[in-house]
Structure 1
Amino acid sequence: MEQQELRTSDYLKGIVMSLPETPGIYQYLDTTGTIIYVGKAKNLKRRVYSYFSKEHEPGKTRVLVSRIADIRYIVVNTEEDALLLENNLIKKYRPRYNVLLKDDKTYPSICVQNEYFPRVFKTRKIIRNGSLYFGPYSHFPSMMAVLNLIKHLYPLRTCNHNLSPENIHAGKFNVCLEYHIKNCAGPCVGLQSHEDYMKNIELIKEILKGDTQRISKLLFEQMQELAANMKFEEAQQVKEKYALVENYRSKSEVVSSVLHNIDVFSIEEDGEKSAFINYLHITNGAINQAFTFEYKKRLEETKEELLSLGIIEMRERYKSLSREIIIPFPLDMELNNVIFTVPQRGDKKKLLDLSLLNVKQYKADRMKQTEKLNPEQRSIRLMKEIQQELHLERMPLQIECFDNSNIQGSDAVAACVVFKKLKPSKKDYRKYNIKTVEGPDDYASMKEVVRRRYKRAIEEESPLPDLIITDGGKGQMEVVRQVIVNELNLNIPIAGLAKDRKHRTSELLYGFPPQTIGLKQGTLLFRLLEQIQDEVHRFAITFHRDKRSKRQVASALDSIEGIGEKTKAQLLQKFKSVKRIREATLEELSTVVGPAKAKKIQDSLS
Structure 2
Amino acid sequence: MSADPADPTTDDSTDDAAAEVGVDVVREALLAEVAALPSLPGVYRYFDSGGQVLYVGKARNLKKRVSSYFQKDHGGTRIGHMIGRIARMETTVVRTEAEALLLENNLIKTLNPKFNILFRDDKSYPYLKLVSHGFPRVAYYRGAVDRKHTYFGPYPGAWAVKETILLLQKVFRLRTCEDTVFANRSRPCLLYQIRRCSGPCVGLISPADYAQDVAHAERFLRGDAEQVIETLQTQMMAYSDALEFERAADVRNQITALSRVLHQQSVEESSLSTRDRDVDVLAVRVHGGRACVNLAMVRGGRHLGDRAYFPTHVEEATALSADEADERADRPSVEQQVLEAFIAQHYLGIAPPPALVMSHAVDAALLEALSEQTGVRLHAQHQPREQRRVWLEMAEKGAQIALARLLAEEGSQRERTRALVDALDLVVPDLDAFRIECFDVSHTAGESTQASCVVYQNHGMRNNEYRRYNIEGITGGDDYAAMRQVLTRRYAKLAEALNAPDASGSGSVKGLRMPDLVLVDGGRGQVAMAREVFTALGLDLSLIVGVEKGEGRKVGLEELVFADGRDKVYLGHDSAALMLVAQIRDEAHRFAITGMRARRASVRTGGGRLEEIPGVGPKKRARLLQRFGGVRGVTAASVEDLAGVDGISHDLAETIYRALH
TM over 0.5: no
User: What's the TM-score, normalizing by structure 2?
Assistant: 0.29
Greater relative contact order, per chain length (Cα 8 Å cut-off, separation 6+): 2
**Bigger Rg over Cα:** 1
